[in-house]
A and B are shown apart, each in its own frame.
Chain A
Amino acid sequence: MSRVRQHINLNEQLLFELGSPGRRAYDLPPLDIDSRPLEEIMDRGLLRENVEGMPELSEVEVVRHFTRLSTWNYHIDLGLYPLGSCTMKHNPKVNEAVARLPGFSNAHPYLPANLVQGALRVEAALEACLTEISGMDAVTLQPAAGAHGELTGILMIRAYHEARRNPRRRVLVPDSAHGTNPASVAISGYVVEQIRSNAKGTVDLEALRGMMSDDVAAVMITNPNTLGIFESDIATIAEIVHSHGALLYMDGANLNAMLGITRPGDFGVDVLHINLHKTFTTPHGGGGPGAGPVAVKKILEPYLPYPVLVRAPDGMLSYNSDRPQSIGKIKAYTGHFGMHVRALCYILANGPEGLKETTEVAVLNANYIRYKLQGVYSLPYNSPTLHEVVFSDKNQDKRGVSVWDIGKRLIDYGFHPPTTSFPLIVSGAIMIEPTETESRDELDAFIGAMLAVAQEAETNPELVKSAPHNARIRRVDEAAAARRPVLRWKA
């Protein structure tokens, strides 16, 4: 396995250091109306003279600037992202083409329903697909991202309990959960308590039983959990939760591990959110936009955010806001429609067999990586792996090499680092999720790089600890950046 040298090192200043007065990249048709002077239209005091510091650039400079910046990014079109839990799979190109159709991209959210039947049909079709895939009864597409979906789900749980005259006080979350889970619970006005995991890496049933009471509003689990392990006691967990009148929330981040294999609705989940980018290939965009639809059982349907899509007997679709028990609106308009189009496009491209195949191959690939790296990298939990596998840096740590160093060294081999130091229950976690969109050759190349880095950790730990050596920049002094934060350009 040889290291690559492909990071382009052109220098490119900040926009604000470029350009020169008089250059321009934009023009409009001349004003086609007779206009009064501006000062007659409004008081000069309301206006600003200029926007201080904005550069004047030509189109060439704008294009070169952003093109150069783009070459400093790793991205899924370039290669594998072994990011456990943060899943990055291939983003099909047709998704982008259809989301940009002018009938979609130019549609205003306040157009009357009879003029947007096409868009509403897309929404209805996606709702139906997600309902079936998750085994639930109804879906809202309104939440803007996964964490936003969590909040929506917990608020619905609260509304459900309030309708029973007691909102309850506590929400239980396993110690292996994503950080957004406790944060979303807190913002919903609940107290968060942690359930410990057992030696298998799954929820400790005894611990759960001991913590349950009629004061618990919900238990929030991730399944498969963040160790890539299926909670095999999930049916019992659901029973325990329901026997106390509480509801079972599922973080659906890892839904990509169960398409057509098993369904949350069939194993007792009352509400889950779905991260469209992880399972249904909406592009990550360098950190958003996401989309976090929420699927619920019938008992929670009255509490869905308004408006709700309804179909009249004649087939006409429209939004209904007359929902007295609704938790309210969770964002303006009806969600990230552009992402919904892409997700539906992906689901329709796959069909039932295709979706099942994505899960099968994702799980196959993760197990192949586990098989090849096991032993060289320490495996803290030996339970069967689904879509992702979590190692630890225990073996390398003996030489002073941490998971962070291993990730940075992988950059020199042309790969993005895996998810590091998460889940928190594994010290020095190395979390790897290849997804189904990697070929055997790509997997072997990655495995080769991981083995080479492990070897280097033995023979030349300093080399690993000082990586990356071939990236555009060396490691950044993050502590210094946080101590005296510089968050904008100043002349």
Chain B
Amino acid sequence: MRYIPCSESDRKALLGSMGLTSVEQLFAGIPESLRLRRPLDIPAALSEPELVAYFQKAAEENAEDYTSFLGAGVYRHFIPVVVDSLISRSEFYTAYTPYQAEVSQGTLQAIFEFQTYITQLTGQEVANASLYDGSTAVTEAVLMAHRITKRRKFLVARTVHPEYRAVMATYFRNLGLEIQLIDYLPTGRIDISHLQKAMNDTVAGIVIQSPNFFGTIEDTAEASSLAAKFGALSIVNVCEALSMGILRAPSEADIVAGEAQSLGVPMSFGGPHVGFLATHEKFVRQMPGRLVGMGVDQEGRRAFVLTLATREQHIRRERATSNICTNQSLCALMATIYLATLGPKGLREACEQNIRKTDYAVRQIQSRTPHKVLFPSPRFNEFVVQLQNGAAFAVQGLFMKNIIPGFHLGQAYPELGDARLVCVTETTTREQIDALVEGLK
């Protein structure tokens, strides 16, 4: 096998040095009745050319030549070439978790930079080294709010990503935690009066997403001040992290958690992506996940190190703040390199293009097609189109033209029926938008 540097003669030499003749002797501790005495029934080994061909064929079966208006939590943005070039350095991608600070300063400093960038974008004071993804990050944020407030009820906007809410529900079921959903208004924003009515001093936290699942930008400050009034925490979920480059930072929120895939991480059929969680300094000891701190070595040099590990499972076991062991280091590194490459001006430009192109698409659909754009509140790069009569026909026609007209909302929001969530980013060309509009006429 080409990955095993042990020839037959090496094997004999190693065995011989221990006075053994066969590797079988090393498995004597496994009872014979439990041994598998046949080859595994999996495909026979492939040579490298066969492997490459196998996967090329599979990859080509995926639709690559389609114009996609899909977003809904996973976004197509231009990823500068430098991102993949740098994360492909084996010094980064084949390194282990940086438990040994002296031989892991590269990873540690990069994570510290990620933490800093996330605090800058979210307007918060501390951020962790990343979490699995947006859905688990928000769930961990909610569990954290439960630990802090000792309360069990959460008010969650219906415009929080449906899959994130589903994950939250899975975690909640056995912990005695409760979700009350808060509906949205015809503006596309959370129904703040419903929220006010539902609020009382048994509520642990409010979860609100901005831009929300419909692409609408929320006024998160209002929810935060409401939460504060009742001693609850406000949790702002951000699925489209790029938007933080231009939208007012939710600095008044108690926890900001979400998904940073749009910062330079490939869509990769849903993962791996990268979750983040940021909060105030006073809550740092209740945070889940790894944290990198800056300190000094014995000779006074600046050095980085994993810190506050006493919150974590390998020390505290069943009393840990979370069962999480791993983070998404390499994806966090992608986001860090992406942000370093864009800089403040590039970030602003990318964000503006998202907003302007989306605005263009909205106006074109409103003025040139019979379909209705729902929810008038401002948006970042997504909007909802309610398809009028003959919708199925129009959608079919678009697919024939290799256009995927966005995410079908009806399953998660039955009242929206055939509505589509359409995403336009800086990578979407005018020609593509015009083709969508043409197809919807």
Contacts and interface: CB of A to CB of B under 8 A. Distances in A.
A100 interface: yes
Interface string B350-379: 101101110110000000000000000010
Interface stretch (B196-204, B226-234, B293-301): B293-301
A18 B268 CA distance: 32
Interface string B43-78: 111101001101111111111101010101110101
B241 interface: no
Contacts of A285: 92-93, 95, 328-331, 333
B96 A416 contact: yes
Interface stretch (A206-214, A328-336, A391-399, A451-459): A328-336
**Interface size bucket, B side?**
35 or more
Contacts of A356: 39-40
Interface string B274-298: 1000000000100000111111111
A83 B99 CA distance: 11
Contacts of A281: 3
A368 B2 CA distance: 21
Q: Which 5 residue pairs across A and B have the least CB separation, nearest first? A: A351-B45, A333-B270, A103-B59, A285-B330, A118-B61
A286 B89 contact: no
Contact of B97 (A132, A284, A482): A284
Interface string A358-395: 10110111011001000000000001111000000000
Contacts of A352: 39-42, 44-45
A336 to B, nearest CB: 4
A105 B340 contact: no
A328 B166 contact: yes
B347 A51 contact: yes
A108 B326 CA distance: 25
Interface stretch (A30-38, A239-247, A293-301): A30-38
A62 interface: yes
B163 A189 contact: no
Contact of A262 (B36, B132, B296): B36
B175 A69 contact: no
A445 interface: no
**Interface size bucket, A side?**
35 or more
30 contacts: A25-B343, A26-B350, A28-B346, A33-B356, A35-B360, A46-B217, A51-B120, A63-B82, A63-B85, A67-B89, A69-B110, A70-B89, A94-B52, A96-B88, A98-B56, A109-B270, A125-B43, A259-B40, A261-B27, A285-B329, A332-B73, A350-B3, A351-B46, A357-B1, A363-B27, A411-B100, A417-B100, A478-B305, A488-B125, A488-B127
Given A337-B271, A384-B28, A481-B294, A476 B305 contact: yes
Interface in A47-72: 47-48, 50-57, 59, 62-63, 65-67, 69-72
Question: Which among A33, A267, A486 has the highest number of chain B CB atoms within 10 Å?
Answer: A33
Contacts of B1: 350, 354, 357-358
Nearest to A115: B63
Contact of B430 (A32, A187, A287, A386): A32
A144 interface: yes
A65 to B, nearest CB: 7
B339 to A, nearest CB: 7
A407 B161 contact: no
A361 B407 contact: no
Given A102-B59, A287-B129, A486-B295, 16 more contacts: A25-B342, A52-B120, A54-B120, A62-B86, A66-B110, A107-B267, A108-B267, A119-B269, A288-B132, A327-B170, A332-B73, A368-B17, A436-B3, A476-B304, A477-B296, A489-B294
A108 B29 contact: no
A121 B163 CA distance: 23
B209 interface: no
B74 A108 contact: yes
Interface in B222-242: none
A132 B93 contact: no
A337 B330 contact: no
A289 B271 contact: yes
A91 B94 contact: yes
Nearest to B31: A232
Contacts of B100: 74, 407-408, 411, 416-417
Contacts of B42: 128-129, 132-133, 347, 351-352, 355
A312 interface: no
Interface in A451-491: 468, 471-478, 480-482, 485-489
Interface string B159-183: 0010110110111011110000000
A75 B84 CA distance: 18
B80 interface: yes
A201 B296 CA distance: 40
Contact of A28 (B104, B309, B328, B426): B426
B386 interface: no
A147 B109 CA distance: 25
A92 B42 CA distance: 20
A332 B174 contact: no
B392 interface: no
A1 interface: no
B175 A189 contact: yes
A186 B318 contact: yes
B103 interface: yes
B400 interface: no
Nearest to B100: A417
B414 interface: no
B98 interface: yes
A250 interface: no
B394 interface: no
Interface in A143-191: 144-148, 150-151, 155, 158, 167, 178-180, 182-189
Contacts of B36: 135, 260-263, 266
Given A101-B55, A352-B40, A472 B102 contact: yes
Contacts of B93: 91, 96, 283-286
Contacts of A118: 57-62
A73 B317 contact: no
Given A38-B355, A62-B341, A283-B93, A473 B46 contact: no
A198 interface: no
A25 B270 contact: no
A367 to B, nearest CB: 6
A111 B294 contact: no
Given A83-B96, A259-B40, A230 B269 contact: no
B43 A179 contact: no
A436 B31 contact: no
A111 B40 contact: no
Nearest to B126: A487
B102 A471 contact: yes
B80 A70 contact: no
B347 A54 contact: yes
Given A98-B51, A117-B62, A232-B29, A440 B13 contact: yes
A28 B350 contact: yes
Contact of B95 (A107, A286, A371, A442): A286
B95 A284 contact: yes
